Structure 1
C-alpha cells in the first residue's frame, strides 16, 4: 500500500510521514535501509561522540534514538495489526536517550543495530496483509493505522538523517577547532 492509502490523519506524525514520497511502504522501507547502509562509517565514526551544540545529543545518541523509536513504532504496529485493544503507551525520548548508553559503544555498533532492526522491520511489515495495514489503534492520544506507523518509521529516519547532514556533517566550527 502507498502513503496515499492512509485513511486516518495521524496528526503529529504527519511531520514525518510528509517527508516520504507517495510510494509503496515496502519500497520506502527498503530505500530507507539502503540509505542506512550507504552511510560512510569512516566519515561518521570520528563524529560519534560529537554534539553540535550544548544540550544536544551526540551523533551516536541520534542513531540510537532512531533505533529506540523504531522499536516503539513497530511494537505499536504489531499491537494494531493483531487487534490489541489497549492504547499504546507514550515514549519519553529523553528518558530513553539518557539511559541508552550509546556513547559507550562505537558508532559502527550503533549503526549495525539500526540496520539489523530495519531489516527486521521490513520483514514485519511485509508480513502484514492490506487488511492488517489498514487496522488502527490508539497511539497514546492519536489514532493511527499500521500503514501510517510504517511510513512514520521511514519519515522519522529521513528527519534525523537530514539533521545529521546539516548539523553533524557540515564540520561545525567548535568541532573543527577542537580536532585540529
Structure 2
C-alpha cells in the first residue's frame, strides 16, 4: 500500500472546490500525502515560540487570538478527517460546512494553556496519519460533497497542510 506517496501534483481541479486553491497553492507539487500530514513539528515549534503575552492577543476587535487560531486548525482537521473517513467508506451523504466564527466564539480556547492545545493537536495529527495509512489506494480517489462542493479523500491532507501554512503566515504578519 503506497497511498502515502500520492503527491499534490496528482490532484486535479475536479477533486475540490476552487476556493481551496488559496491553501493548495502553499503546498509544493512534489509534497507527498504523508509529508502534508507530517507538518506537526513545524506548527508545534511555531506556537511554542510565540511570546506568552501574544497568545491571547487580538490585532483587531472580533479577530481571533493565536490560541483560537490553533483551536480552529484542530476543529478543521477533525471535520476534514470525518469527511475523509466517510468518503473513503463510500458514504456519499452530502455534508454541510461549518461556521468557523461560531466555533471560535464557543471553543473557550483562551481558557486553555498552549500546552494542552498543542497536545490535542499532536494527538489528533497522529490519529489523522493512522487514518490515512489505513486507506487503500482506491479509497483515496473517492469524491464526496461537503460545504457545497467536491472533495476527494486524497486532497484533504494537502488542503490541511496549506491551511496550516496560511494561518502561520497570518500570525507572523499580524500578531508578531
Query: Shared fold (TM-score greater than 0.5)?
Result: yes
2:10 to 5, 12, 32: 5
TM-superposed deviation, 1:143: 0.9
The answer to whether structure 1 residue 27 and structure 2 residue 35 are counterparts is yes
Aligned residues: 168
TM-superposed deviation, 1:39: 2.4
Map 1:79-98 → 2, pairs under 5 A: 79-98=86-105
What TM-score, normalized by structure 2, do the two folds share? 0.89
**Distance across 2 between alignment mates of 1:42 and 1:150:** 25
CA RMSD of aligned residues (A): 1.4
CA shift digits 1:18-46 (9 cap, x unpaired): 1111211101211x112023225254432
Map 1:20-169 → 2, pairs under 5 A: 20-22=27-29, 23-30=31-38, 32-39=39-46, 41=48, 43-169=50-176
Question: What SS class does the counterpart of residue 137 from structure 1 fall into?
Answer: strand
2:72/2:104 contact within 8 Å kept: yes
Large movers: runs of 4+ above 4 Å: none
TM-superposed deviation, 1:76: 0.7
TM-superposed deviation, 1:107: 1.7
1:48/1:59 contact within 8 Å kept: yes
**Distance across 1 between alignment mates of 2:116 and 2:142:** 35
Unpaired stretches in structure 1, ≥5 consecutive residues: 170-180
1:16/1:156 contact within 8 Å kept: yes
Unpaired stretches in structure 2, ≥5 consecutive residues: 1-5
In the superposition, relative to structure 1, how do residues 42 and 151 fare at CA in structure 2: closer, same or farther (>3 Å)? closer
In the superposition, relative to structure 1, how do residues 151 and 133 fare at CA in structure 2: closer, same or farther (>3 Å)? same
**Distance across 2 between alignment mates of 1:38 and 1:114:** 12
1:133/1:145 contact within 8 Å kept: yes
Larger radius of gyration: 1
Question: What SS class does the counterpart of residue 144 from structure 2 fall into?
Answer: strand
What TM-score, normalized by structure 1, do the two folds share? 0.87
